[in-house]
Amino acid sequence: MSYNLLKGKKGIIFGALDENSIAWKTAERVKEEGGEFVLTNAPIALRMGTIKELAEKTGSEVIPADATKIEDLENLVEKSMEILGGKIDFVLHAIGMSVNVRKGNHYTEQNYDFTQKGWDISAVSFHKTMQVLYKKEAMNEWGSIVALSYMAAQRVFPDYNDMADNKAFLESIARSFGYFFGKDHKVRVNTISQSPTPTTAGQGVKGFDGFIAYADKMSPLGNATALECADYTVSLFSDLTKKVTLQNLFHDGGFSNMGVSQEVMESFVKGQEEK
């Protein structure tokens, strides 16, 4: 269903790798709601993924940018304004990667070069993106910037590894930069804390299948899908949420406020009986 919520709005969408990506679904939904955008991803992801297909489908241009590189981000923001014919109304940061997770390093056995690379990609890139937008005065008033997070920023999920710390860092950057963006340019900055979702990044987490099934059973409304996350993001880009800022917004079917659910308790008891 489309409501034209983003008619006339222009944006930049980071992080669409393939059709499972949350950013991919968001691009499709933004297009349906009348928004126009530039797609971007790291050069290597452009080679490996299928973003061109999305670009054709949505009539968008793709500009490569490694989100850890200021010069790439400057080029991205300048070119986007040229292509879109004006300042930016919305930005989605859907970027995450931990080298320690990729290499199978346990949380207590981190390689700190990997740790640093991980936080640069997953958290500091959000600061860099906003700093470039801010310095270039590239955002329109009442614009909206969203990054995607996960509840391991607040609670312990052992297999989420150093991504937990990266997400805590990301959420803090949203608040800290959001203050200045709000005060100086009337731009809002939020993070959406999304349910586990079967994407390339999601499936990189050890034991993901168990993880996603457990979250689904714990949540009164079940896990939120990538498409539902896209819908929520559209609402945050729209003028219906103009005074929502500095928030970490849980989009997780209720998971974050649960202690235990009947289903999880039953399967735990069953497991105990079988022992």
Cα angle, residue 252 at apex, residues 248 and 256 outer, rounded to 5°: 70
Which phi and psi (to 5°) does residue 88 adopt?
A: -100, 140
How far is it, in rounded angstroms, from Cα 250 to Cα 247?
9
What residues make contact with ligand NAI under the rule CB under 6 A? 14-15, 17, 21-23, 41-42, 45, 66-68, 94-97, 121, 148-150, 194, 196-197, 199-202
How far is it, in rounded angstroms, from Cα 270 to Cα 95?
39
Q: Does the annotation mark 112 as catalytic?
A: no
Q: Does the annotation list 219 as a binding residue?
A: no
CB of 163 to ligand NAI, least distance (A): 7
Complex with ligand NAI: residue 89 or 252, whichever CB lies closer = 252
CB of 268 to ligand NAI, least distance (A): 23
Q: Are 35 and 11 in contact (CB under 8 A)?
A: yes
Complex with ligand NAI: residue 21 or 245, whichever CB lies closer = 21
Task: Give me the residues paired with residue 90 across strands.
Answer: 11, 144
Nearest C-alpha neighbor of 95 from the set 177, 185, 26: 26
Complex with ligand NAI: residue 196 or 253, whichever CB lies closer = 196
Q: Does the annotation list 104 as a binding residue?
A: no
Q: Does the annotation mark 160 as catalytic?
A: yes
CB of 15 to ligand NAI, least distance (A): 4
Nearest C-alpha neighbor of 6 from the set 28, 33, 25: 33
Q: Does the annotation list 22 as a binding residue?
A: yes
Residues annotated as binding site for NAD(+)?
Answer: 15, 21-22, 95, 167
Q: Active-site residue numbers? A: 150, 160
Q: Which residues are annotated as a binding site?
A: 15, 21-22, 95, 167
